[in-house]
Amino acid sequence: MTHLHFVNSHNGQLMIGNFTASELANRFGTPLYVMDEKYIRNQTRMFKASFIHPTLLSEVIYASKAFLTIAMCKLIQEEGLSLDVVSGGELYTAYCAKFDMNRVYFHGNNKSEEELRMAIVYGVSTIVLDNESELELLLPLLTSAQKVLLRVNPGIEAHTHEYIATTKNDSKFGLSTADPATLALIERLIREPLIDFLGLHAHIGSQIFESESFFKEAKTLLNYISEHKLVVRELNLGGGFGVAYTRKDQPLSLPEFLRSLLEHISQTLSSLGLSPMKIMIEPGRSIVANSGTTLYTIGSTKTTINQKNYVFVDGSMADHIRTVLYGAQYTALLANRMSDVCDTQYTVTGKACESGDIIIKETYLPPCTKGDILAVFSTGAYHYTMSSNYNRLPRPAVIFVNDDQVRVVVKRETYQDLIRNDIGA
Ligand code: LLP
């Protein structure tokens, strides 16, 4: 069987960097989030090297909601990307990692006064406003000019799951370009003395495979800018570039796509007679998803009266929510028996008291036995960040592997951690 392109094995063992996955599982325990640091660095470098154009300024901003820890902030800073944060918590993490605040973009559709204050005190580069009431909250807090982008919604329908599609006209995010009130707000932003209005931001959804959706997004926004003669210095097109979770997924070839996107923008700018502007993108998933593998130890197995086979792992929907939340599909293999024939159909499920606790609905594995190590691939994005303590299950550790180096970047939670905020213990 051919593996996903980023999966390596040697002598029947899954390799992550120069380590066997079994060795990592033994040493750090399971469930374990393993991130291949080299893969993440290569992705950041590919984005930086490909998202360039001779006549346009460009910037790659990592969407930290996909995966954020202090170590990740440091990596992003070292690789020279900027950072998108959407909450006081993400901003605080960046601050504690000493991330250069001149490279931080503060998003969110309902920023609190406290969060906006924090952003101003920390000196974040740009606040991405979602709506007019946020502006009303921001203005009294300003004592000097604040760079601002406005999130708009160009009405592009990208083919993705409803919960991660963000730009239909009635989306909770941003303001529709079809709504005349949006233009009125832009005109107000241009007039406000303490607002340095830089331009527009949009994000059309996540896990998108069609380049056409992004071309359409850019064209629609540039047409809008041209039609209303807006003076715009920056245009942020968001993230959303899809990745492979299974062999059926056909992601865009990013190096070619990114160059062609900028070329398309450059040509559209010329044909509309617009001045060059800085173009930004905000990839999250495409930087980290395929770097991550979750390792689980298999406990029991069982076959129901209808001959359905279950394999139970020592994690759950608490560390892997995407299957139940989005019907997401994943690829899994036995890390300690990579050459064995996958001839038995299983449902992979975990420890949570919930029938929806499904990690993989249907997959083929070799007949599993207690103690086998199950590797679930492409779990580097939106897994650690969306994990919970449901059933008081402690969150797994996160480790970074870089060839023959390995380090813990997030400690495994303990039972003490689970009750640390409980009063009366
Ligand atoms: N920029 C903005 C404004 C966003 O809202 C997002 C994602 C991104 C960038 C990054 O998108 P990416 O490149 O990672 O697709 N929890 C969901 C994904 C939600 C994405 C929300 N916004 C999931 O697990 O699929």
Q: Are residues 157 and 233 in the same domain?
A: yes
Buried (b) or exposed (e) across 161-183, using 16+ Cβ within 10 A? eeebbbbbeebebbbbbeeeebb
Q: Which residue CA neighbors atom 23 of ligand 1 most closely? A: 382
Going by C-beta distance under 8 Å and a sequence separation of 6 or more, which residues neighbour residue 31?
Answer: 294, 295, 296, 297, 313, 314, 315, 319, 396
Q: What are phi and psi of 397, to 5 degrees?
A: -75, 160
**Residue 354 structural domain:** 8-30+289-418
Question: Over pLDDT 70: what percentage of the chain?
Answer: 97
User: What pLDDT does residue 183 have?
Assistant: 98
Give the DSSP letter of residue 2: P
Q: Are residues 47 and 134 in the same domain?
A: yes
Q: Are residues 239 and 100 in the same domain?
A: yes
Q: Are residues 245 and 378 in the same domain?
A: no
Domain assignment present for 1: no
pLDDT digits (tens, 9 = 90+) for 224-252: 999 999 999 999 999 999 999 999 999 99
pLDDT digits (tens, 9 = 90+) for 341-398: 999 999 999 999 999 999 999 999 999 999 999 999 999 999 999 999 999 999 999 9
Pocket residue to mutate for ligand 1, from 160, 171, 237, 285, most atoms within 8 A of Cβ: 285
Q: Ligand 1: distance of its center to the CA of 241 in Å?
A: 9
Q: What is the mean pLDDT of the chain?
A: 96
Q: Are residues 138 and 82 in the same domain?
A: yes
**Confidence band of 296 (pLDDT split at 50, 70, 90):** very high
Domain assignment present for 13: yes
**Confidence band of 185 (pLDDT split at 50, 70, 90):** very high
Q: Name the H helices within 273-386.
A: 285-288, 322-326
- Residue 8: pLDDT over 80: yes
Q: Ligand 1: distance of its center to the CA of 240 in Å?
A: 6
**Confidence band of 259 (pLDDT split at 50, 70, 90):** very high
Q: Are residues 266 and 341 in the same domain?
A: no
- Residue 291: pLDDT over 90: yes
**Confidence band of 5 (pLDDT split at 50, 70, 90):** confident
Q: Are residues 199 and 50 in the same domain?
A: yes
Q: Are residues 300 and 178 in the same domain?
A: no
Q: Which residue CA neighbors atom 1 of ligand 1 most closely? A: 238
* Count of structural domains within the chain: 2
**Confidence band of 165 (pLDDT split at 50, 70, 90):** low
Coil, strand or helix at 363: strand
Looking from the CA of residue 151, the nearest atom of ligand 1 is 3
User: What pLDDT does residue 63 have?
Assistant: 98
- Residue 423: pLDDT over 80: yes
- Residue 16: pLDDT over 60: yes
Domain assignment present for 139: yes
Q: Is the CB of 284 under 6 A from ligand 1?
A: yes
Last residue of a domain, one of 283, 311, 340: 283
Domain assignment present for 423: no
Q: Is the CB of 238 under 6 A from ligand 1?
A: yes
**Confidence band of 159 (pLDDT split at 50, 70, 90):** low
Residue 73 catalytic? Answer: no
User: What pLDDT does residue 172 have?
Assistant: 87
User: What pLDDT does residue 77 have?
Assistant: 98
User: What pLDDT does residue 166 have?
Assistant: 57
pLDDT digits (tens, 9 = 90+) for 80-96: 999 999 999 999 999 99
- Residue 168: pLDDT over 90: no
User: What pLDDT does residue 158 have?
Assistant: 74
Q: Are residues 293 and 355 in the same domain?
A: yes
Last residue of a domain, one of 236, 257, 283: 283
Q: Ligand 1: distance of its center to the CA of 422 in Å?
A: 32
User: What pLDDT does residue 170 have?
Assistant: 78
Domain assignment present for 3: no
Q: Are residues 402 and 388 in the same domain?
A: yes
**Confidence band of 160 (pLDDT split at 50, 70, 90):** low
Domain assignment present for 343: yes
User: What pLDDT does residue 164 have?
Assistant: 56
Domain assignment present for 169: yes
Q: Are residues 142 and 252 in the same domain?
A: yes
Q: Quote the CA–CA distance of 22 and 372 in Å, as a whole number.
A: 9
User: What pLDDT does residue 340 have?
Assistant: 97
Pocket residue to mutate for ligand 1, from 44, 65, 237, most atoms within 8 A of Cβ: 65
Q: Quote the CA–CA distance of 318 and 204 in Å, as a whole number.
A: 28
Q: Ligand 1: distance of its center to the CA of 2 in Å?
A: 29
User: What pLDDT does residue 157 have?
Assistant: 72
Domain assignment present for 330: yes
Looking from the CA of residue 240, the nearest atom of ligand 1 is 15
Q: Which residue CA neighbors atom 24 of ligand 1 most closely? A: 382
Q: Are residues 331 and 407 in the same domain?
A: yes
Q: Find the helix or strand (DSSP H, E) in which 418 lies.
A: helix 415-418
CATH code assigned at 321: 2.40.37.10
Give the DSSP letter of residue 192: -
Last residue of a domain, one of 238, 263, 283: 283
Q: Quote the CA–CA distance of 28 and 24 in Å, as a whole number.
A: 6
User: What pLDDT does residue 2 have?
Assistant: 58
**Confidence band of 163 (pLDDT split at 50, 70, 90):** low
> Angle between the 70-78 and 88-96 helix axes, to the nearest 10 degrees?
70
CATH code assigned at 278: 3.20.20.10
Closest of 283, 284, 292 to residue 320, by C-alpha: 292
Q: Ligand 1: distance of its center to the CA of 284 in Å?
A: 6
Q: Is the CB of 151 under 6 A from ligand 1?
A: no
Q: Ligand 1: distance of its center to the CA of 64 in Å?
A: 9
- Residue 65: pLDDT over 90: yes
